Structure 1
Amino acid sequence: MKKKLLTTATAAALSLGMATSAAQADDVRIGWTAWADAEFITQVADRVIQERLDTGVELVQTDIAPQYAGLAGGDLDLMLMSWQPITHEDYIDQFGDDIVDLGVLYDNAKLGWLVPASLHAEGLTSIEDLRDDEWRDRLNGEIQGIDPGAGLTRLSHDTIEEYELDYTLIEASDAAMTAALDRAIRRDDAIVVTGWSPHWKLGAYELEYLEDPKGALGGAESIHAMSRTGFADDHPEVAAFAGCMNIDIDLLNEYMYLADEESTGHAVDKFFNDEAGLVDEWVACARN
């Protein structure tokens, strides 16, 4: 089966209604963003759908907002990275009536701001501590964030206001955030980054979440599979599989760490080898 990795520009074209070729008409189009957990889960699903359910797949890499819009408009079939109930609350409010929730992929996820364990040991343990001039000076008045469309970015802006912090949120990609974190740790510089669990960086570095006494960044989250309306009628087995796909967050963290150390493809290969029983359960569930 062919697999097409489409760019953001292609996704934008799809949202404008450009027709796909007849050869692509029956492929399942899955939207994804280059977040560590989303990339791994999407590639696992891609392989199951193609190899076990004998259905072609197109992977459409784009930001999170176009994914929700794409599902609502019928330009995408699936997304496997809907953070609920808080992180993507705005998107659910806007598009929820026009898309379908297929079920929980994993739960006990968490958002927050992270610091190196060494800073935590020095006394930077709470978001409230960031109001101290000493910490603001050491951090250059900056919080390192991720992409502008992420729910975590919106919540981080809200957190800066809620705690009345004189800080700038630096918006960048997940890769840029982790690069900044790595650089700061190697140089023994102070840094605060926006973060979430699951993520490979929690296995790669000694990090601590800052306490959030005001709950500005929310609580435990669940990550859901979402589809366009009518997808289950067109692809009942694939829709059922997305609803059956469920993975323990600790197991997911292990493979995400491996994906960073080696490659996502290597981690997916190992997952299919070592967790074959789990994959069989998903497929059997989809066919019941």
Structure 2
Amino acid sequence: MEPVTVAQGVIDLTFHQVVAAAIRAVLAAHGVAVTEVISAPHERAFQDLRAGRTQLLVGWFPGSHSTYLEPFKDDMIVLGEAEGSAPVYDPYCIWGVPDYVPVEVVRSITDLAKPEVAAQFVRTVQGINPGAGISRFSQEIIERYSLDLQFVEGDIPKCCATYEAAYAKRGM
């Protein structure tokens, strides 16, 4: 019998990469060889799956990626969506508050709308790639809570550099 092989698509974020490596190990233990791993930003990873360049995609979250999968979801098997099953993994998007801001000052996202709290932060939320759930959720949060913040698209290196620069200046 000829071995089963697949090309694995992975959304190019570290936590998806870690899960993808674990899935490759499980597949190998069951006789499935991953012949190629294609890492790509969100939208392109789903385009690769739809076009057949990959046969397996690691990085599906209904709240984050449904816009990419919906056009061809009926042609796919989505693990974790069968009735009574659990998702393969289920991270969530969060915003962090720097440690120089006392926990008593920011206990919830609504606290960020208070002028005395807002003054302690840079007024820009630096996003990662446009298709990322955290990017879309951040824009929704800014609007939903009427936060005086600007959202800027970017990538992971820019997001990290922006955070490090703001932290070094203590947000001012």
List per-residue Cα deviations over 1:18-49 (Å, max 9, x = no partner). Answer: xxxxxxxx741111133121111222333454
Query: Following TM superposition, by how much is the alpha carbon of 1:101 offset from its aligned partner in structure 2, in angstroms?
Result: 0.6
Q: Find the partner of 1:143 among 125, 130, 135.
A: 125
List per-residue Cα deviations over 1:146-178 (Å, max 9, x = no partner). Answer: 211112211211111112222111323234433
3-state SS, counterpart of residue 131 of structure 2: coil
Normalized per residue, which structure has more strand? 1
120 and 48 in structure 1: CA distance in 2 versus 1, 3 angstrom threshold: same
Q: Which runs of 5 or more structure 1 residues have no equivalent in the other structure? A: 1-25, 192-288
3-state SS, counterpart of residue 102 of structure 1: coil
Q: Which has the higher relative contact order, 1 or 2, with Cα contacts under 8 A spaced 6 or more apart?
A: 1
The 8 Å contact of residues 148 and 171 in structure 1, kept in 2 or not, is answered as yes
Corresponding position of 1:205: none
Query: Following TM superposition, by how much is the alpha carbon of 1:54 offset from its aligned partner in structure 2, in angstroms?
Result: 5.6
The 8 Å contact of residues 16 and 58 in structure 2, kept in 1 or not, is answered as yes
Query: Following TM superposition, by how much is the alpha carbon of 1:59 offset from its aligned partner in structure 2, in angstroms?
Result: 1.0
**How far apart are the structure 2 equivalents of 1:160 and 1:136?**
13
Q: Which runs of 5 or more structure 2 residues have no equivalent in the other structure? A: 81-86
The normalised TM-score by structure 1 is 0.49
Q: Find the partner of 1:94 among 43, 48, 71.
A: 71
The normalised TM-score by structure 2 is 0.76
**How far apart are the structure 2 equivalents of 1:124 and 1:190?**
14
Normalized per residue, which structure has more helix? 1
**How far apart are the structure 1 equivalents of 2:157 and 2:31?**
32
**How far apart are the structure 2 equivalents of 1:178 and 1:67?**
22
Q: Find the partner of 1:178 among 152, 160, 166.
A: 160
3-state SS, counterpart of residue 110 of structure 1: coil
**How far apart are the structure 1 equivalents of 2:34 and 2:144?**
46
Aligned residues between the structures = 163
**How far apart are the structure 1 equivalents of 2:114 and 2:33?**
56
